[in-house]
Structure formats: C-alpha cells, structure tokens
Amino acid sequence: MTISNDSRQMIDAYLEQVRKGLRGLREEDAREIVEELRSHILDRAGSGGEVTPAGVGSALAALGDPEALASGYMTDDFLARAESTRMPWTILRAAFHWATLSVKGFFVLLFCVVGYMFGGAFFLAALIKPFNPKVGLWMLGNDTYSLALGMTDYKPQGHELLGWYLIPIGCALGGGTILLTTHFALWSIRRFRQARSAARIGRGLR
Amino acid sequence: MRRDDSRESDAPDKWEVQLRKGCLELAILASLWSGRLYGLEIIRRLESESKLTVSEGTVYPLLSRLKALGLVQSEWVESEAGHPRKYYALTPAGKQRALEMARIWSRFSSSLDLLLAPLGPAK
C-alpha cells in the first residue's frame, strides 16, 4: 500500500486533534485508540492499494468531527468505568466530565460532591469518636445543634446528645448517604449515556 | 390541549433512533459470533447483513465500551496491507450476553408480529 505525503499529513492532523480530545485517558488507552483509527482510515482509504487525499478525505468525513469522536470515547470510558467499579472516585470523575458538557452534569456533580462529603463526614465522626470526646452531636442551647468533628481547638458549649450511639448512627448514616448518592449518580449517568448514545446514532443514520 | 405538530412529525424518527440504539449493541455482538473481526469488517457486516447503517464514529467508541464491560476482547494482528489491525472477539461473558439479548429479541419480535398481523404486510 502506498501513501502520499499529503494523505499522511491529513491523517496525522486529524489524529492529533483526536489525541488532544483524549487528554485525561490513560496514555496507553489513548495511543491504542489513535492507532486503531489510523488503521481504519488506511483500510478505508486504501482499498485500491493506494491511499489518496480524496480517499482519506472521505474516510475522515465518515468518522466525523475529531473532537466529537474523542468526546464519545471519553464519555463512554468514564461512564463505563463508573458503572463497572461503582466507586465514588470514578463516579466523581464521570460526573466532572459530564459537568464540562452540560448544565445538568454540573448539578449532578454538585449533588455527588455534597452527598459524598456528608457521607464521609458521618463516617469520620463515627471513626474519631473513640479517640476524641469532642466529636458528637452537640446541643448548643436555643435549639441550635452542631455536629462537631473535633478538628479544631474550639470546644462546643453545651452538651453532647448521642454519646457512644454516634458510632453505629454515624456508620449507618454515612453508608446510607454514600449508597444513595452512588445510586442517584449511576441512575443519572445511565440516563445520560442512553441519551448521548441515541443522539449519536441519530446523527449517524444514513 | 393542542399538540405541537412538528414534534408529532418527528416522533417516528425518534422512535426509529431509539430502536436502532437498542439493537446496535446486539448487532455488534452478533456480528462477532462466528469469529473475530476488525472495526471496518464489523461496520461492513452491519451494513450488508442487517442494513443497520450507523456512522463509523459511533461504532468505535461503542466497541471500546463493550471491551471495558468485558464483553469483547481485542488483539493487534499484522495484516498484508502493511499496517496492524485491531481484531475483536467475544469473551465468554459477551457470548452469554449475546445469547440472552437474542433470546429476548426473538421473544419480543414474535409476540409483536402477532399484534401487528392485522395491520397487513409492511410496505
């Protein structure tokens, strides 16, 4: 198969744009995607034995906008990882990527951050309680409550309400909040992925 | 309340998109049933055997997702064309998934055929 210089430059320029859009993926994954696309372009453009600029142009047009193509990989990668691992970190990464694409994604990210922070705080309170009596749900007077985590020298004025019950309650609330946040995030992500997939296939119908 | 005419006229297209979307994953898994294929071969098989014509930029990210889900595996193979090609093959989980989806599809399709029979043959 022979490739003209013009054809090679066209392919390299297109793949460079795809690679830019793949920032954030593991280097090995990004390289494999780019090499697979290069192989596809060469196969499609060089079916007659020679890769011409016209053939490359047609192959690139069929692949579509390089940024949109890269975005498809990125989103699918983040969302698939989030769904398969179900770990808060991968879910937050997926939500963050989604937030860069739409307002809805921003609100899902906000919800996840707040949910995981609250869940983490409840867990932390339960974990620290045996070592620091300041930790607990304090009634400060005038119907004012405060969940003191003992991170500062500030000593709440009032009395602590939960005592040792803070440990099981903190674990249950922490676990529940994290679980609920994860379920909501995965449900949102699944809907978002379905919508994106439908939109992409809609654009791809010929 | 009066319905929006333009939205109403879009409805069959949207329905077709949803239908194709639902089928694409099954179609790709089914295309790999008889053996490994590389991306362009999968696209050509979808076009020639199912008339499921989708953009090439749609198929590759989907293959990547199927791989991340453990339904397909891939390997690079040198070709006579002078460049390596990435071949995809079903994993045991992918075969299981394809069988389940095919079973559901057949059941759904035959039950719908009964319901559609009074409408006559599709034009």
- B2 within some domain: no
d(CA B37, CA B39): 7
Residue A153 lies in a domain: yes
The answer to whether the predicted template modeling score (pTM) of the entire model surpasses 0.90 is no
pLDDT tens sequence across A66-76: 998 998 888 77
Query: Residues of chain B whose C-beta is under 8 A from some C-beta in A?
Result: 13-14, 16-18, 20-21, 24, 38-40, 53-58, 60-62, 64-65, 68-70, 81-86
Contact between B83 and A37 using a beta-carbon 8 Å cutoff: no
- Dihedral in degrees, nearest 10, Cα atoms A189, A193, A195, A196: 130
The alpha carbon of residue A66 and the mean position of all alpha carbons in its chain are separated, in whole angstroms, by 21
Residue A79 lies in a domain: no
The first and second tokens of residue A105, run together, are 């994604």
Give the residue from chain A lying closest to B14, CA to CA. Answer: A202
d(CA B81, nearest CA chain A) in Å: 6
pLDDT of residue B118: 87
- The three-point CA angle A147-A151-A157 to 5° equals 50
Please indicate if any CB of chain B lies within 8 Å of the CB of A72.
yes
A147 burial type by CB count under 10 A (0-12 exposed, 13-18 middle, 19+ buried)? middle
- On the question of pLDDT at A150 being above 60, the answer is no
Assigned domain for B4 exists: no
Count how many domains chain B has.
1
Whole-number average pLDDT of chain A: 83
Most B CBs within 10 A among A40, A41, A42, A194, hence the mutation to make, goes to: A40
Cα–Cα distance, A87 to A61 (Å, whole number): 38
Residue A167 lies in a domain: yes
pLDDT one digit per residue (tens) for chain B, 123 residues: 444 444 444 565 777 777 776 788 899 999 999 999 999 999 999 888 877 777 788 899 889 989 988 999 999 999 888 889 999 999 999 999 999 999 999 999 888 888 888 887 655
Claim to verify: residue A58 and residue A135 sit in the same structural domain: no
Q: Which domain holds residue A183?
A: 86-206
The pLDDT assigned to A73 comes to 86
Asked if the structure places residue B72 within a domain, the reply is: yes
Nearest alpha-carbon partner for B36 in B72, B84, B83, B78: B72
Is residue A74 in a domain? Answer: no
Q: With an 8 Å Cβ cutoff, is A48 touching chain B?
A: no
* Strand ranges for A49-141 from DSSP E: 50-51, 136-139
Give the pLDDT score at B100: 95
| Residue A63 forms contact with B (CB below 8 Å) | yes
Residue B38 and residue B88 in contact, taking contact as beta carbons nearer than 8 Å:
yes
Asked if residue B112 belongs to a domain, the reply is yes
- pLDDT value at A6 more than 70: yes
Q: What local confidence, expressed as pLDDT, does residue B2 receive?
A: 44
- Residues of chain B in contact with residue A43, where contact means CB-CB under 8 angstroms, are 38, 40, 81, 83, 85
Q: Report the number of distinct structural domains present in chain A.
A: 2
* Burial track A42-72 (b if 16+ CB lie within 10 A, e otherwise): bbbbbeeeebbbebbeebbebbbbbebbbbb
Residues A36, B39: C-beta atoms closer than 8 Å: yes
Residue at B101 is within a domain:
yes
- Using an 8 Å Cβ cutoff, are A78 and B61 in contact? no
Flag whether B100 is in a domain: yes
Range of the domain at B114: 15-119
Whole-angstrom distance, CA of residue B60 vs CA of residue A100:
22
Residues A15 and A102 in one domain: no
SS3 content of chain B, % helix, strand, coil (to 5): 65, 15, 20
Which residues make Cβ contacts (< 8 Å) with residue A144, sequence separation at least 6? Answer: none
For β-strands A50-51 and B84-90, DSSP reports them as unpaired
Which of A32, A44, A202 comes nearest B40 by C-beta? A44
Residue carrying the six token digits 């607990």: A136
Asked if B56 and A72 come within 8 Å (Cβ–Cβ), the reply is no
| 8 A C-beta contact, residue B91 and residue B72 | yes
Q: Cβ(A198)–Cβ(B15) under 8 Å?
A: no
Question: For residue B98, is it within any domain?
Answer: yes
- In a domain, residue B90? The reply is yes
The per-residue b/e assignment along B79-94, b for 16 or more CB within 10 angstroms, e otherwise, is eeeebbbbbbebbeeb
- Domain membership of residue A73 (yes or no) is no
Last residue of a domain, one of A64, A97, A114: A64
Q: Rounded to a whole number, what is the distance in Å from the CA of B25 to chain A's nearest CA?
A: 11
Q: B56–A33: do the CB atoms touch at under 8 Å?
A: no
Structure ipTM: 0.82
